[in-house]
Amino acid sequence: MGLWIYLNGEFVPEEEAKISVFDHGFLYGDGVFEGIRAYHGKVFRLQEHIDRLYDSAKAINLAVPLTKEEMIEVVCETCRRNNLTDAYIRLVISRGKGDLGLDPNKCPQPTIVNIASSITLYPEELYRIGLSVITVPTRRNIPEGVNPRIKSLNYLNNIMAKIEANIAGVPEAVLLNQEGFVAECTGDNIFIVKNGVLKTPAPYLGILEGVTRNAVIELAQKRGIPVQETVLPRYDLFTADECFLTGTAAELIPVTKIDDRVIGNGEPGPIFNQLLEDFRELVKVDGVDIY
């Protein structure tokens, strides 16, 4: 049986969930989105996702026609309509239907879509043995252009990097920023551990400030692990004791090889293992109840 999709105020079967070819989300990637996760009947950090969505919309001057409370209800109701307690949720707001020009003023009504389904990003075994990743030539968007803090529908920058990873035969790419410092991966934030200190690139370097990233920082602080949001050259990746990625879809996944250098002892490290365990506990309690 197919899914029920939220589309502009209604729930429709997926075969009927269609949008115009004149939608500027389709024509120009003009819009914003969120990837959200529900665990055990709770939508994990839904308020944070909604806040980021509205900030992204505001940054591109897109007025969302629903209140945040209404949007939270849309997300929960989509899960209920599909009888889901565990889900990957994709909430999308595009500029809406316009003409063939760029002008957003010609798009009177944003398109709002919410899909509650599932996603498997990486095979289970990679969570045990860790990913092999590479740094790629494609640089992360500059903050003065489309700031990476905007979770925009235009993911071509990230897709270019993913293509480079695909060609190299690895599952993920690390993008550097314009200065050559580590930014993030195509759909995940990156962390390293060195001498017991957890380090991750600071948001001003040009990254998406991940909800999972922020949760992991809090979990580390609760454990008394020192955390630094800082500047990381590739050197710090190569010489790290541990490395891992975070994201709503991937959750926490270890990295054991970067540009052919073995990270640490080549296995997921103790701080990663601890934080993963803590994260699995956190998602059981930290969320908005669907039912």
Active-site residue set: 151
**Cβ–Cβ under 8 Å, residues 136 and 161:** yes
Q: Which residue is nearest to ligand PMP (CB)?
A: 210
Least separation, in Å, of the C-beta of 158 and ligand PMP? 6
Q: Would you tell me which residues interact with ligand PMP (CB under 6 A)? A: 35, 158, 184, 187-189, 208, 210-213, 246-248
* Comparison of 24 and 52: residue with beta carbon closer to ligand PMP: 52
Number of neighbouring beta carbons within 10 Å of residue 123: 10
Least separation, in Å, of the C-beta of 66 and ligand PMP? 21
Least separation, in Å, of the C-beta of 184 and ligand PMP? 5
* Comparison of 210 and 268: residue with beta carbon closer to ligand PMP: 210
DSSP 23: B
* Comparison of 177 and 189: residue with beta carbon closer to ligand PMP: 189
Is the dihedral angle over the CA atoms 131, 35, 6, 43 positive or is it negative?
positive
Tell me how far CA of residue 233 lies from CA of 86, 160, 181, in angstroms: 37, 21, 5
Least separation, in Å, of the C-beta of 185 and ligand PMP? 7
Number of neighbouring beta carbons within 10 Å of residue 63: 7
Residue 248 CB contacts under 8 Å (≥ 6 apart), including other chains: 35, 36, 37, 44, 88, 210, 211, 212
Least separation, in Å, of the C-beta of 213 and ligand PMP? 6
* Enclosing H/E stretch for 258: strand 251-258
Separation between Cα atoms, residue 93 and residue 25, nearest integer Å: 8
The DSSP secondary structure of 77-110, one letter per residue, reads HHHHHTT-SSEEEEEEEE--B--SSS-GGG--S-
* Comparison of 107 and 220: residue with beta carbon closer to ligand PMP: 220
* Comparison of 52 and 97: residue with beta carbon closer to ligand PMP: 52
